[in-house]
Each structure stands twice: as structure tokens, then as C-alpha cells.
Amino acid sequence: MANHHILDSQGGDISAQDNWLALSTDTLPGGIALSEITLLELLHRQEKPEVIVPLADLLNTEGALAGGLMNEVYELIVQHSSHLGVWITADTDADVLSKLSELLLKQTLIVIHVPKFADGRGFSFVQTLRQLGYKKEIRVAGEFGRDQIAYLLRVGVDSFVLSEHDIHPDSKFHIEQAFTALASSYGGRDASALPMFAGA
Amino acid sequence: MYKYNYADQTLVEERVAQFRDQTERFLAGELPEDQYLPLRLQNGLYIQRYAPMLRIAIPYGLLASYQLRKLAEITRKYDKGYGHFTTRTNIQLNWPKLEEVPDILAELASVQMHAIQTSGNCIRNTTTDPYAGIHAEEIADPRPYCEIIRQWSTFHPEFAFLPRKFKIAVIGTETDRAATQVHDVGLHVKKNDAGELGFEVLVGGGLGRIPVLGKVINDFLPREHLLSYLDAILRVYNLHGRRDKGSKYRSRIKILVDTLGGREFAKLVDAEWEANTKDGPLTLTDDNFATATSYFSEPDYKTFDALQVQSELQQQLADDKDFANWYQQNTVAHKIAGYRAVVISLKAGLVDGKYVPSGDVTDSQMDALADLADEYSFGELRGTYQQNLVFADIETNKLYELWQQLSDLHLARPNINTLTDMIVCPGWDYCSLANATTHNIAEQIEKQFSDLDYLYDLGDIRLNMSGCINACAHHHTGDIGILGVDKKGENWYQISLGGNSSNDAKLGKILGRSVPTEAVADTIQQIVDVYVDLRATTDNDVESFGELVERVGIDPFKEKVYG
């Protein structure tokens, strides 16, 4: 796996404190978590780690929870994990998310995978998840860019998986700047926050 | 006019800093091209055939004199001394240097201007009626709603990376002068039986490769729900619009609405809206509307002795035929007695034998227009969908002296709504998307149709010409549409007839096979001849070109051109 870092909403590097492991599957893209774990390793491990599983593999072709690839082993994964998260692809049907609120609300972490910089569906997924009442951590991974971080923060993302390449650690353009860009812009969710109504 | 407060100003300045940072990182090789591209587009910056092109926003077409002066200065300092007004009431610079664009944006910010979201797959500049606030038949001034939409959509974090661009137009009169039916969202201000204000909401109009007219998805949306309802439309589109590879031309909301059908799409929007955002924090209050409206209060109009105004005007009209022509073609009724609106023709045609492209204005013209705006029209100008400018509030008795000054500037050509009031995109001469040139064809047409009395006899004819299928000049909605196509390295032109962008909007029908460059003006002449032959004339009415095509179809024209 490429060298990835996890940054919190302030731009601080929390990689050292992050223990999430992505469950290895055929479709696992790079950078969902800092490390992977196979099902077999998980079942044989003494301590219970924090595990991220693919939402798609829990669902059948109709997007319902029954009959998914991993459904049979999900109970085992639950038993062998301390905390659970899911990662979702940009192709996930938003209506499916709405039907799965019970499962989603139980997750400690939801990772949204962005397949392409210009693909903005993830922005609306965050909104959809928050509308469902999900209050815990939402993380973004994949091919988003640092210039989207300010927007992602405003729609409600809590943390970011960035590759070494995105961070440019030696650059004079510090990654922290991405977290404070357009500092005065609003979240798009509240009419009273528009400049002319905010009375600024 | 809306004046930025501290918050707006800070935002625009933060944007300049952000774009400067992005451009420096791009030039330093730290920002990949595939990421810089959508970012620069959201700052209005294209890479064109010879140079970058910067599209500067003029929100709903409203421009203050000091802003126009700044634009003049920028074109002198950073460009080649002219700008190009577009159908979406923005202005484009054709020759800026990439590394200087952050400086240009900083200069713009000093007069509350920017290039934010003038391109890219985001919510673009909202457009409206150039006669907003001055038209007697207006239900309500659309500009406060435009400004609310501007503020809501600026840097909206959720809707900055949509499947494709998204354009909103708002009108406050029955008559549609903003082509709302070919916008992604068209909003028509309405009043219900209880006297409450709201909007008829159209979704899914657009031209380009697959032209479609918008569909009404809500007959009356009470105005307090404006933002929450738009929010629902945008979320449905962002989640369901096509993004698959190679489907760029199928990514606009028009395709989604067409595929689902207007009713099904409306259901999705309603479901999202009712479940999540209706009556939430995006709901606007009467106080909000009062605040927004206060920025567009009436200027200090004078009262005139109507009789005296009229007698003076009639005398001037009788004494000077040129002035009378201009008055007839280029001025528009105003709701306040003693005032008229003036359309400044940016279709000068041939000046000293040289063709001036539609919508182009030089830096010295801009400076002069800014001065005239200060002297005659409360310091404001407006852009129009037809690539002209408007002085909205001219005292009737000042028209004559204003006309003289505009004439000296080559800005008083009395051709508004005639065949030579053409909407023309820059075409192959500038644009890297174009397949064919447009300026040479427009010049040909100018030469063919130079006689003013003949043009007046032909009446209103809208001619729109695009240099490619992307249809920036809306050729589908012209009475006569011309589309440039490339055939084995040669430019050919496809002609369509019967389009309309106003209330009875329709898409033109293609006449037949395209014609070669040298035959375009002659073909237009043949088309116009058919019109003159066949039009019905009564004592007090002459059938217009559009009415005739509607009545007889395109066959008689076909026969003449290809027969």
C-alpha cells in the first residue's frame, strides 16, 4: 500500500493514533485505511482490532442487507472486532443508504471512497448520512484533492486519507493551508448565514 | 445594486489567495493538471486556441460604472484593450497571461468583482431580465432573488463538483427575455390568488448537442422555499446525474429529467425536499426578502411634465430621422413616465470597413460608457442575453444628447432585434472547442444586409450563430440559426429556422445539408426573400418571420435554397 496519512479536521496528522484496518477484499482500493487485514488473520488474532468492511459486500443485488457476499461472516467479523466501520463507493445508490440507516448508525466510522477528483457525489453522500442522523466519524479516501478539503470539511467530513504525494511534505505550500482555505465561506445549509442576512 | 459587506469582500479576497496558491502550485508542478483544470475553470479560466480566456462574472448582468472602468483598465493593462460580452451577461478577456490571472482577480476584487463559478461543473452566474425593476408589467423585481441565489450558490460546498454545469435564470414578467426555458432551472416569479409571491419552477432546459426545453416541475413554489427546493433539485442531480465515462453530453440535468420524465423527476425532488430540507434552516423569512429587496430600491426618479416631455421628444423625432430610427429600435418603455431604457448595440457591424465582433467593446468605449452611465443612468449598466448593454433609466428628454454621444462611440447602431443584431460566439478564431469560424460569416452577412430600411422592412429576426455544436450562441433558438461544422478541414454551415427562446420557446428545424462558407449570406438572402414573398400583411400588422415559419413550416424555404 502506498504511504498514506490520516489528517483530522484541523489538518493534524493522526496516523500514529489511527488503528483502523481495512478488510482485504478483491475490490479494496488503496488508502481506505493505513493497513489491511484478511478475514483469516482477523479470526486468528488475539486482540480485537477496529475493522472497516465494504458496504457493497454486505448487500445483495437489490441493495438489501440479506444475502450479500459477506453477510454470512459479518457476525464473525462483529465478534472479532472492537469497533466497526464501512467504506462505500461513489457508485452506491443514495436511496440504498437511506434504507440502511439502522446499520449505518451503528458504525463508528464511515469511509467514502472518491474514484476521481471531479466526481462530486461524495459531497452529497456526506449530507445524506448526516440527514439520516449519523453523527460519528466520516472520512474521505481516494482520489479527491487537497483543494477540495475546505469544501469537504464544510459538508461535514471529519478526517481525510491522503497519500504522501498529495501532502508534499517538503513543499513550501503546507498542507495545513488547505484546511483554512476560503475560511469565511458558509456551509450551504442555513439561509441566515448568507452574507447579507448574517449582518456581518 | 447589491453592495458587498465585509463578509462578501473577505470571501472574494480569500478566493484570490486560494487561486494564487493553486496556480503557483500548478506552475511548481505540485498540483496535477487533472486537478488544476476543474479548479481554474471554477475561476473562469479556460485555455483557448492562442491564449487563456478569463470569463469574469457580472451577476445577473448588473454592472456599476466604477466596475466597468476597472474592466477597461484591466483590458488595457493585462489584455489587448477589449472585452467580449456573452449571452450569460458575463465578460470575457481573450489574451490574459496565466501567471497574471491571480493579479487580475485581485484587481477585480477591489471593485467587488470576480470570476467565481463562471465555468466548470458548478452553479454558474444567475441571469435575469435586463429590464428588471423598470418594467410596468413586472410581478416583482427578480434581482433580489438572483442575489439570494448568488450568495447561496457561491462556494456551495456540496455542489461544486456536479456532473456538469448548472445555470439558473429568473424572470419577474410574463414575457421571457432571459431564455429561461433553455436553462437548467428557470424560475418565473408568480403571485397566487392570495397575493403571495412564489415561483413557477422549470427544470432541464439546455442547448448544446442535445437541445431540450425545460419542464415545469412546480406550478407555484412559495418563495420562502426557494433555497431549500433548489437544494433538493441539486442534490437529486448531483447523486443521479450521469457521470459515466464518455457521457459528457449526457451529464446535464436535462438528460436526467428527460430520461425520468418531468413528473418522476419532480417526485424525486419532492421526496428529498419533504424528507430533509423543507421548512429547515434554508427557509427564507419575510425579513430576509425585505433585506434583499432593499438593495434594489428605486433610484431617485424625477417627475416630469408629461406634455412637455412628449412635445420635445416628438419635435426631435420629427427633425432627425436617424434619431427617430434609434428611438424606435433601441429604446424601451419604462414604468416611470419621462424615462426610457436604452439598448446599447454591441453589434456595430462594419466600422471603417472593419467588422466588429458581436459583443466586443474596447477599453475606451468602456470608459466612455462608464461616464455616460454616471451622467445619465444612476451609474449603472446591464448586460443582455443578446450580447448588448442597457442603460435602464434614461430621462426621455436626455435621449437625444445621449444618442449623439453613443453615435460618436459607434454604440448607437439602430439595429436592435433586426437581422444584424446577431448573437455570435467567438468561433474558431479564439475558441479551441469550435469547429468553424463565425466572424467571417457575420461580416459576410453584415455586407449583404447593410441597408437599414430594408432591415426594418424585414422586422424582428433573431439570427444566432455558433461555431460548434456546444451552441454558446444558442443557434437552436434563433429565427435563423447558423451552426458551423467542419467537413474534412473546411468550414460549412448548417442553417435552421423557426427557433425561439422566449415564451413560446422552440428549437429550430434544420433546413437541409450545410452550405459552404462563401454561400452563407446568399442563402440567408434566399431565406429572407421567401419570407418577404409569403408573409401575410394586413392594414395594421405584418406577419413576422417567426410567425411565418410557424405557419408554413420550412418546406418553402427548402425549396428555394435546394430546389
* Minimal CA separation from A164 to chain B, in Å: 12
Q: Which residue do the cell numbers 469560424 mark?
A: B437
Chain B residue with the nearest C-alpha to that of A195: B7
* Minimal CA separation from A25 to chain B, in Å: 24
pLDDT band at A200 (very low <50, low <70, confident <90, very high): very low
How far apart CA B314 and CA B319 sit, in angstroms, is 9
Q: What is the mean pLDDT of residues A24-50?
A: 94
Residue A177 corresponds to which amino acid? Q
Closest CA to B73 of B118, B110, B19: B110
Residues B373 and B379 sit within 8 Å (Cβ to Cβ): yes
Residues B370 and B83 sit within 8 Å (Cβ to Cβ): no
Chain A residue with the nearest C-alpha to that of B284: A191
Residue B372: all three cell numbers together? 455616460
Residue A138: all three cell numbers together? 466520516
CB-CB under 8 Å, B4 with A195 = yes
CB-CB under 8 Å, A183 with B282 = no
How much is the pLDDT for A59?
Answer: 84
pLDDT band at A68 (very low <50, low <70, confident <90, very high): low
pLDDT band at A1 (very low <50, low <70, confident <90, very high): very low
In sequence order, which residues have a C-beta less than 8 Å from that of residue B164 and are 6 or more positions away? B121, B241, B248, B251, B252, B253
> A99-142: per-residue pLDDT in tens?
899 999 999 999 999 999 999 999 999 999 999 999 999 999 99
How much is the pLDDT for A171?
Answer: 82
What is the residue-averaged pLDDT of chain A? Answer: 91
How far apart CA A136 and CA B387 sit, in angstroms, is 51
What is the mean pLDDT of each successive set of 10 residues along chain B, which is 563 residues long? 90 94 92 93 88 94 98 98 96 94 96 96 97 97 98 96 97 97 98 97 95 96 98 97 83 95 97 95 97 96 95 98 98 97 97 95 98 98 97 98 98 98 94 93 97 97 96 96 96 97 95 97 98 94 97 97 94
pTM, 2 dp:
0.96
Chain B residue with the nearest C-alpha to that of A152: B157
How much is the pLDDT for A103?
Answer: 92
pLDDT band at A2 (very low <50, low <70, confident <90, very high): low
Residue B428: all three cell numbers together? 474558431
Closest CA to B351 of B337, B369, B365: B365
User: CB-CB: which of A121, A155, A191 is closest to B239?
Assistant: A121
How much is the pLDDT for B534?
Answer: 97
Q: Complex ipTM above 0.90?
A: yes
Residue A27 burial class via C-beta count within 10 angstroms: exposed 0-12, middle 13-18, buried 19 and up: exposed
> A46-59: per-residue pLDDT in tens?
999 999 999 988 88
Instruction: Please report residues of A whose CB lies closer than 8 A to that of B112.
Output: none
Start-to-end CA distance of chain A, whole Å, equals 47
Substitution target from A99, A124, A148, A163 for chain B, most B beta carbons within 10 A: A124
With a CB-CB cutoff of 8 Å, which residues 58-117 of chain A face chain B? Answer: 94, 117
CB-CB under 8 Å, B5 with A124 = no
Chain A residue with the nearest C-alpha to that of B273: A131
User: CB-CB: which of A126, A173, A183 is closest to B14?
Assistant: A183
User: Sign of torsion, CA B78 B79 B84 B86?
Assistant: negative
Is A165's Cβ below 8 Å from some Cβ in B?
no
Chain B residue with the nearest C-alpha to that of A184: B11
Mind spelling out the 3-state secondary structure of B82-125? EEEECCCCCEEECCCCHHHHHHHHHHHHCCCCCCCCCCCCCECC
CB-CB under 8 Å, A117 with B158 = no
How far apart CA B264 and CA B244 sit, in angstroms, is 22
Is A176's Cβ below 8 Å from some Cβ in B?
no
User: CB-CB: which of A127, A173, A177 is closest to B30?
Assistant: A173
In sequence order, which residues have a C-beta less than 8 Å from that of residue B321 and are 6 or more positions away? none
Instruction: Please report residues of A whose CB lies closer than 8 A to that of B156.
Output: 188
* Minimal CA separation from A142 to chain B, in Å: 13
CB-CB under 8 Å, B148 with A194 = yes
DSSP secondary structure, B32-76, as one string? -HHHHHHHHHTTTEEE-SSSEEEEE--GGGEEEHHHHHHHHHHHH
How far apart CA A122 and CA A92 sit, in angstroms, is 10
CB-CB under 8 Å, B38 with A188 = no
Pairs of residues, one from chain A and one from chain B, whose beta carbons lie less than 8 Å apart: 137
Q: What is the mean pLDDT of residues A17-26?
A: 95
Instruction: Please report residues of B whose CB lies closer than 8 A to that of A121.
Output: 238-239, 243
Residues A173 and B23 sit within 8 Å (Cβ to Cβ): no
Residue A140: all three cell numbers together? 474521505
Residues B173 and B234 sit within 8 Å (Cβ to Cβ): no
User: CB-CB: which of A124, A191, A200 is closest to B5?
Assistant: A200
How much is the pLDDT for A67?
Answer: 66
Is A170's Cβ below 8 Å from some Cβ in B?
no
Count other Cβ atoms within 10 Å, centred on residue B438.
30
Residue B215: all three cell numbers together? 419542464
